[in-house]
């Protein structure tokens, strides 16, 4: 595996930030992010080092971007950045609209998902640096309730095989290696290391989102890291099932994003809900000593408050020693809906803070342990 973290200041900053935190519905919206947010973040974390970008491009923005590759290439050179990865999970608008389960549509049974992914492969391959491997995150099949028959499995896998084959075509033609990183999420069809995807070849790998894994109460201590091609560093909200904790959790039940929620005893899930609001109405009937986690991406710099905790505590040195050998990015896309009392008003500073926190953890994991 390639070690993605280096201490040499002439080499790239060790990780990126997934720009699904910003509007990516049109290329003009993406360009505004590039011209305003990215220079501000780079000045704070990597003023004298190349900085990797992980773009999210919705379907419309991606169509528009295909004719602007030369413009983007010049922008990257001018601003000391390079394109490292794409997020092709949300197909449509993802910010400033009600998303919920629509984020999983079209799913992999739909030819539109395949066509969108092919465009993403072509776009990324045109801008990757020579010798670099790029990853594209995508939907883990689809939302579970949309999966209605075994035929869905067959059609989805057929489309995914076509996308993988296109990755091979691109590699043969250009020398650029693109991998599709399946990103499991609670309530979706394909779970991490789903055996149905075992025979799709090296062009298909897994994206480990640590917020999603935490919500599923998945242990990070024993993972098959050879199959993980991308890591999204993210934290979920955790609390005990007390009335005070539920009251503190209530402001996070917002109308845009889906916040799958789980309750567990001794690490075993005993309650599962598709969103936070229905969970809050039913949790009073569950044991008070149950641990509750909700799929709400909170900044890695947030330690928790009152009865609420952050699952970032599970991102320990042993985890980072493995993660540092994979392409990593911070993925907190909820800045537009965070409760105001959390104090993350200046997004560039908030993102820079998360990147510094994660970079320090990755670099600390590279140092040999002290002898006692």
Residue 300 in domain: no
Q: What would the two tokens of residue 371 be?
A: 């002898």
Residue 31 in domain: yes
Residue 2 in domain: no
Nearest partner of 169 among 118, 116, 228, 110, judged by Cα: 118
Q: Mapping DSSP to helix (H, G, I), strand (E, B) and coil, where does residue 351 land?
A: helix
How far is residue 297 from each of residues 21, 59, 234, 331, 336, measured CA to CA in Å? 11, 23, 6, 8, 11
Strand partners, 17: 330
Residue 315 in domain: yes
CB 320 within 8 Å of CB 313 = no
What are the pLDDT digits (tens) for 75-98?
999 999 999 999 999 999 999 999
Is residue 222 scored above 60 in pLDDT? yes
Residue 340 in domain: yes
Other C-beta atoms within 10 Å of 287: how many? 13
What are the pLDDT digits (tens) for 128-163?
987 789 999 999 999 999 999 999 999 999 999 999
Is residue 4 scored above 60 in pLDDT? no
Looking up residue 102, the CATH number of its domain turns out to be 3.20.20.150
Residue 43 in domain: yes
Residue with tokens 């993980």: 228
* Domain containing residue 93: 16-235+311-366
Q: What would the two tokens of residue 343 be?
A: 């104090």
Q: Mapping DSSP to helix (H, G, I), strand (E, B) and coil, where does residue 324 land?
A: coil
Show Cβ contacts of residue 357 under 8 Å, excluding neighbours closer than 6 positions. Answer: 300, 301
Other C-beta atoms within 10 Å of 276: how many? 24
Residue 368: which pLDDT band, with cuts at 50, 70 and 90? confident
How high is the pLDDT of residue 371?
64
Total domains in the fold of the chain: 1
CB under 8 A, 24+ apart: contacts of 26-29: 26/58, 26/60, 26/61, 26/64, 27/61, 27/64, 27/65, 27/68, 29/61
What are the pLDDT digits (tens) for 301-344?
999 999 999 999 999 999 999 999 999 999 999 999 999 999 99
Residue 87 in domain: yes
Laid out side by side, the sheet with 81-87 consists of 16-17, 327-330, 228-233, 204-209, 177-182, 133-138, 81-87, 51-56
Residue 143 in domain: yes
The whole model's pTM is what?
0.96
Distance CA 129, CA 53 (A): 12
Residue with tokens 């399946």: 182
Distance CA 249, CA 229 (A): 33
Give the H or E element holding residue 207. Answer: strand 204-209
Is residue 108 scored above 50 in pLDDT? yes
Residue 187 region by backbone torsions, left for phi larger than 0, else alpha for psi between -120 and 50, else beta: left
């Amino acid at each position: 595996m390639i070690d993605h973290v280096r201490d040499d200041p002439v080499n790239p900053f060790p990780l990126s930030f997934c720009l699904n935190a910003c509007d990516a519905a049109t290329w003009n919206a993406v360009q505004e992010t590039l011209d305003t947010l990215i220079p501000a973040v780079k000045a704070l974390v990597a003023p004298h080092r190349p900085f990797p970008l992980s773009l999210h491009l919705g379907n419309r923005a991606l169509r528009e971007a295909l004719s602007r590759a030369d413009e983007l290439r010049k922008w990257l050179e001018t601003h000391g950045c390079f394109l490292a990865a794409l997020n092709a999970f949300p197909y449509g608008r993802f910010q400033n609209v009600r998303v919920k389960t629509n984020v999983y549509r079209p799913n992999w049974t739909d030819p539109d998902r395949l066509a969108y992914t092919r465009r993403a492969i072509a776009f990324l391959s045109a801008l990757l640096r020579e010798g670099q491997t790029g990853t594209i995150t995508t939907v883990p099949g689809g939302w579970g309730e949309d999966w209605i028959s075994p035929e869905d499995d067959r059609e989805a896998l057929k489309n995914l095989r076509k996308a993988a084959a296109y990755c091979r075509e691109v590699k043969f033609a250009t020398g650029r290696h693109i991998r599709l990183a399946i990103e499991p999420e609670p309530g979706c069809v394909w779970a991490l290391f789903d055996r149905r995807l075992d025979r799709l070849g090296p062009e298909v790998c897994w994206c480990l989102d640590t917020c999603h894994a935490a919500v599923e109460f998945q242990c990070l201590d024993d993972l098959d890291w050879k199959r993980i091609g991308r890591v999204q560093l993210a934290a979920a909200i955790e609390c005990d099932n007390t009335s005070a904790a539920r009251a503190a959790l209530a402001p996070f039940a917002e109308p845009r994003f889906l916040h799958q929620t789980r309750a567990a005893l001794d690490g075993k899930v005993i309650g599962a809900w598709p969103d936070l609001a229905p969970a809050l109405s039913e949790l009073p009937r569950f044991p008070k000593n149950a641990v509750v986690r909700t799929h709400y991406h909170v900044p890695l710099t947030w330690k928790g408050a009152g009865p609420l905790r952050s699952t970032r505590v599970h991102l320990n040195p042993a985890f980072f020693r493995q993660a540092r050998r994979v392409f990593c990015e911070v993925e907190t896309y909820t800045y537009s809906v965070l409760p105001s009392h959390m104090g993350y008003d200046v997004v560039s500073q908030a993102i820079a803070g998360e990147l510094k926190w994660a970079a320090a953890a990755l670099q600390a994991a590279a140092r040999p342990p002290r002898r006692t």
